[in-house]
Structure 1
Amino acid sequence: MKDDLNTAGAQHVAFVNESGNSLGVLMRNDIEQIASSEELDHMLRESSPAILSSSNVRPAILKLANSETPVPVVDSQKKLLGVITQSSILKSLANRY
């Protein structure tokens, strides 16, 4: 997993259950400290409440302002589509101005 993060340049990994529903996220610095797969369950951070992909960006910004973890984006069946991070919001705003 560490090698995959390095290759992708990712700062976090989102985990889902068999139904595709969000279980939580692991941040890069947490993953770098994992010595065994048993530790994985203990380090999984509960993610912020998810937002629907059809939602306005405002709810995501409000959730991100008070969260250390990315906000999951789900479809109407609550399947994880992706995540929004503080960094992605700032980059989007910077590109507009």
Structure 2
Amino acid sequence: MESIRNVNASPVSARHAVAALRLIIATFPALLRDPGNLDLRRDMTEASLCAVLAFSNRKAAIAHILSYPITLGWGVQHGITCSFTLPTILRSLRGRLR
């Protein structure tokens, strides 16, 4: 989601971000019910790849920037730290997103 709303978003980053979101929405609930399903795990891996491609085509956004000190200072995995900051940031943008 950050790649789509980032001021540095591009058609390339948006395309990869949308592909990641679609795969996650389609796959994640089923994977939670069946975590051993290799096909679902493969789909989530593909979603992760799409997200990385989206990120690599633009600069970091606020959720990631705020997460770096937690990762560096306390050794918490970066993806986990983003899960701390992203919900608050999304709530602060409610009503502003097109």
TM-score, length of structure 2 as denominator length? 0.30
Going by fraction, where is helix more abundant, 1 or 2? 2
TM score, norm. by length of structure 1: 0.30
Name whichever structure is richer in strand by fraction: 1
